[in-house]
Chains A and B, each alone.
Chain A
Amino acid sequence: MLRGLHFDIAHTLSVSVLLFSFALLYQRRIMGVLNAFALQALMVAAAAAWQAYSQEAPHLYATAGIALVLKALVVPIALKRIIMRLGIHRAIETVIEVNGTLLAGVGLVALSILLVFPVAQDSAALTRENLAIALSIVLIGLLMMITRRNAVTQVVGFMSLENGLVLAAVGVQGMPLVVEMSIAFSVLVAFIVFGMFFFRIRERFDTLDLQYLESFRGDRGQDHRP
């Protein structure tokens, strides 16, 4: 009975992380994207904490803490401050319409389930579904990176992808902390790098749209501009 409850709660938390991935996909404003990301990170932290409790693996509390502090608080707040300071409140330019993106996201979830279920036939049901959900979060993160033109949303897509990885890592029993630490740090590094990028762009072009960045790449002649 207790196992069933553990399973249900863990499942609910994982699915809510996935839900926020979809929420990220249909946001049309940058602030909305950041809020959705913060909530997703919160859900990841909750999922990790629940796993720590149910697996009796205290080191997962550290993971939950890292997710909560860094991804749910520091990164969104820092990004918001950057956006405030740069004075960007623009709507997000999409490559594919939001509806199409959502449909693609549903397709990716279906693909993940098709892939993971036969492979992990003999492992525990929780691990199996957790892996499927984590894979769909990773793929939706990638999808977000390629269907949005704005640099901020690309960063967020990347970090949401990392959330999927963390979710996969905490779902498996006996995963050492080192992995989660490295994932958390890589997110931080990516945040710093992208942040540097923003300031560079801001100094010169007054926009965060990637299209302007590309036309000034060094290996490209002036006559090749899009």
Chain B
Amino acid sequence: MLSVLLAVVLFLLALGIAGAVFGVPWAARIYAAAACACAVAAVAAVVFLVARADVPEALVLPVGLPWLSAHFRIDALAAWFALVINVAGTASAVFAIGYGGHNDEPARVVPFFPVFLAAMNLVLVADDAFAFLIAWEFMSLSSWLLVLSNHRRPGNARAAQVYLVMAALGTACLLLAFGIMAGPDGAYRFASIRDNPPQGAAAAIALALVLLGTGSKAGLVPVHAWLPLAHPAAPSHVSALMSGAMTKVAIYGLVRLLFDLAGPVPWGWGAALVAVGALSAVIGILHAVVERDLKTLLAFSTVENVGIAVMAFGLAIVFRTNAMGTLAALAFTAALFHVLNHAIMKSLMFFVAGAVEVSTGQRDLEKLGGLIHRLPVTATLALIGAASIAALPPLNGFVSEWLTFQAVLNSPSLPQWVLKFGVPVAGALLALSAALAAACFVRAYGMAFLGRPRSRKAAEAVEVAPSMRWAMAGLAGLCIGVGILPMVPAAAMAPLVRRFAGVDFAPLADGLSFGDFMLLAPVTPGVSSYSGFVVLIAVVAVTLASIEGVHRLATNRLRRAAAWDCGFPDPSPATQYTASSFAQPLRRVYASTVLRARDHVDMPEPGDARPARFTLSMRDLAWDAFYAPVERGVTWLAERMNTLQFLTIRRYLVFMFTALIVLLVTVALAK
């Protein structure tokens, strides 16, 4: 299977070159080929997970550094993330067949899109630090170029700049972390790191750097602020990949380093992940719930979902270090499950945002509305996606969040007092973020698709191209399918969970019968269990019964009415609830402290004819506390370094000479 994945990577790179050579006229063909390649990779990953998950495959290619050939390896962990990424990649490439032509400058997107996909796949199969970092940086740079593709739109150039700085910072952290983990002998192969994991203070520093490096790519608070700038700036199919797939690659990096290479880590790291995850979940969704821009809202929701997944991973570490295998398996399953679910539903929602943007030309919620009449197919699929991301049963989003809650609810059995009290607090934050997520997506869906159009373009929207609808429909189908049959992915990730936790995920422990597919009982059947299938049947039955009941019980007497006009006497759409007025109660309650949200009302004096004005200001504290200093520091350093460009030849020689002498003196003193 490894050779299949590497072949797919090579094929995608070749597609990138073809995109650069043949350009826009071949765009649809290139996207179609990329979709096929990703589908092949996804199938290969499934085959590996089902058939040979316990036997990792490795390959050494004589490329890269001469003393360290490029090592590649696939195991169950890599295969699971390859499945996640290639599902998102396939859908995104299919979506792009119809969507690609609507980009501002397609020639800037077509060559880099397959390269981005290839780089993400390459990160997953890399088996030495060098290959990993090369692939990681390739991923960062190709996505940076994609972010920059709409560079003429206001704000995008700045978003790309911030992204580049943060990507470089993240890679630098990983570089240092690998340097520490490899030790003084430079053992950069993952196998060597796995055999000799770092100890003591070195391990602590390395893991902190790993958390910072991968967390900044995944969008964990407080290093998330680039994400809501950069993800929406890219074309929508790329935004879907960045949010749906690239954050997963970052999580993969975290899991690979923290769970696999670093050996058994102390429970403190699990607690740190739980804390960071819970904080990310709440802050991310608070931003999302007050956001006006549809794509930025989705990007903030990514911060929330990454937080949930990281929190579940943290719980898995905590349970494992306390030798509670069953619960560790539960938390690990929940985390991996959420990774898959988020990739599916976030890609779907970004496709919806792309479809809305294509058909109306905007993504500001205050200018949308009533699209359910103009885009019936998109609206239905968007409803499925929104319900799924708001974690409503019987869809997939519910399953993973529910599993996470099951893990949280079992935390009082932990021996450490910090965790006994801390994890339920994190669980409360998780519950809050789940509720806010529901509010957020009710608002997003309601403002965009319901009510009356708030702008002329929204009133004249037309349904989007078939390939875009098919991509969305496929993902919506996955949302439903995974939601009602959660045991299928759970069975696929079973070898991975078994390897990590030592025991099987409870429902899978004693084989899998047909009935088990219908019922999900993560701990014991008596305590808590869930069946998506039953919920689906119940939802359908209740819906049909209500429709029937309403039709039967309602009077069929004809009524004519105009007086109050159903609450719409004024035809102006401005009389509707706006997106910010819908969010106002939540903004008052939560965001006034966390986001420093302030309302400014400028009311004219009586007799003054000028209009009253309402403005809203918000600040991201993470920006002030973390990003602004980093950005200032980098700029300062860059300006200082700039003078190095203008030195005399002799001064360059002085630098070399001084460096040489310093090194030689160090060697002499070290003797």
- Which residue numbers of A lie inside 8 Å of B, CB to CB? 95, 108, 111, 114-115, 118, 139, 142-143, 145-146, 149, 154, 210-211, 213-214, 219-220, 224, 226
- 17 A–B contacts from the bound complex (CB under 8 Å): A108-B661, A111-B661, A114-B668, A114-B671, A115-B664, A115-B667, A118-B671, A139-B660, A142-B660, A143-B657, A145-B653, A146-B654, A149-B650, A210-B650, A211-B648, A219-B646, A220-B646
Compute how far the CA of A191 lies from the CA of B657 in the bound complex, rounded to whole angstroms.
21
CB distance from B160 to the nearest CB of A (A): 25
Q: Does B649 contact A (CB under 8 A)?
A: yes
Q: Scoring B residues 635 to 671 as 1 if CB is less than 8 Å from chain A, else 0, what string do you get?
A: 0000000000110111001101100110011011001
Across the interface, which residues of A come within 8 angstroms of B650, CB to CB? 95, 145-146, 149, 154, 210
- Given A111-B665, A142-B653, A210 contacting B671 (CB threshold 8 A): no
Compute how far the CA of A149 lies from the CA of B649 in the bound complex, rounded to whole angstroms.
10
Beta-carbon nearest neighbor of B654 in chain A: A146
Beta-carbon nearest neighbor of A108 in chain B: B661
Across the interface, which residues of A come within 8 angstroms of B653, CB to CB? 142, 145-146
Q: A111 to B646, Cβ gap below 8 A?
A: no
Q: A210 to B664, Cβ gap below 8 A?
A: no
Q: A210 to B667, Cβ gap below 8 A?
A: no
Across the interface, which residues of B come within 8 angstroms of A139, CB to CB? 660-661
Instruction: Give the 10 A-B residue pairs with the shortest CB-CB distance, closest first.
Output: A114-B668, A214-B648, A146-B653, A146-B654, A118-B671, A142-B657, A115-B668, A146-B657, A145-B653, A220-B646
Q: Considering only CB atoms and an 8 Å cut-off, how many residues of chain B contact the other chain? A: 16
- Given A111-B661, A115-B667, A118-B671, A210 contacting B649 (CB threshold 8 A): yes
Across the interface, which residues of A come within 8 angstroms of B664, CB to CB? 111, 115
Across the interface, which residues of B come within 8 angstroms of A95, CB to CB? 650
Chain A contact residues: helix, strand, loop or mixed: helix
Compute how far the CA of A211 lies from the CA of B647 in the bound complex, rounded to whole angstroms.
11
Beta-carbon nearest neighbor of B652 in chain A: A146
Contact of B668 among A111, A143, A145, A220 (CB under 8 A): A111
Q: B660 to A224, Cβ gap below 8 A?
A: no
- Counted as pairs of residues, one from A and one from B, with CB atoms less than 8 Å apart, the total is 40
Q: B657 to A219, Cβ gap below 8 A?
A: no
Across the interface, which residues of B come within 8 angstroms of A224, CB to CB? 646
CB distance from A145 to the nearest CB of B (A): 5
Across the interface, which residues of B come within 8 angstroms of A145, CB to CB? 650, 653, 657
Across the interface, which residues of A come within 8 angstroms of B657, CB to CB? 142-143, 145-146
Q: A214 to B649, Cβ gap below 8 A?
A: yes
Across the interface, which residues of B come within 8 angstroms of A143, CB to CB? 657
Beta-carbon nearest neighbor of A115 in chain B: B668
Compute how far the CA of A220 lies from the CA of B650 in the bound complex, rounded to whole angstroms.
16
Interface centre among B646, B650, B654, B664 (most CB of A within 10 A): B650
CB distance from A222 to the nearest CB of B (A): 12
Compute how far the CA of A213 lies from the CA of B665 in the bound complex, rounded to whole angstroms.
33
| Interface residue ranges of B118-177 to A (CB < 8 Å) | none
Q: A219 to B645, Cβ gap below 8 A?
A: yes
Across the interface, which residues of B come within 8 angstroms of A108, CB to CB? 661
Compute how far the CA of A210 lies from the CA of B656 in the bound complex, rounded to whole angstroms.
18
Q: Scoring B residues 322 to 354 as 1 if CB is less than 8 Å from chain A, else 0, what string do you get?
A: 000000000000000000000000000000000
Compute how far the CA of A64 lies from the CA of B668 in the bound complex, rounded to whole angstroms.
33
Beta-carbon nearest neighbor of A148 in chain B: B650
Contacts A108-B661, A139-B661, A210-B650 aside, 4 further interface pairs with beta carbons under 8 A come to A111-B665, A118-B671, A143-B657, A146-B650
Beta-carbon nearest neighbor of A213 in chain B: B649
Across the interface, which residues of B come within 8 angstroms of A219, CB to CB? 645-646
CB distance from A144 to the nearest CB of B (A): 10
Compute how far the CA of A214 lies from the CA of B650 in the bound complex, rounded to whole angstroms.
10
Across the interface, which residues of A come within 8 angstroms of B645, CB to CB? 219
Compute how far the CA of A105 lies from the CA of B415 in the bound complex, rounded to whole angstroms.
67
Interface centre among B645, B660, B668, B671 (most CB of A within 10 A): B668
Compute how far the CA of A84 lies from the CA of B668 in the bound complex, rounded to whole angstroms.
45
Across the interface, which residues of A come within 8 angstroms of B661, CB to CB? 108, 111, 139
Beta-carbon nearest neighbor of B648 in chain A: A214
Compute how far the CA of A201 lies from the CA of B646 in the bound complex, rounded to whole angstroms.
19
Compute how far the CA of A181 lies from the CA of B671 in the bound complex, rounded to whole angstroms.
35
Compute how far the CA of A170 lies from the CA of B646 in the bound complex, rounded to whole angstroms.
40
Compute how far the CA of A3 lies from the CA of B402 in the bound complex, rounded to whole angstroms.
86
Across the interface, which residues of B come within 8 angstroms of A220, CB to CB? 646
CB distance from B375 to the nearest CB of A (A): 54
Compute how far the CA of A224 lies from the CA of B657 in the bound complex, rounded to whole angstroms.
25
Across the interface, which residues of A come within 8 angstroms of B660, CB to CB? 139, 142
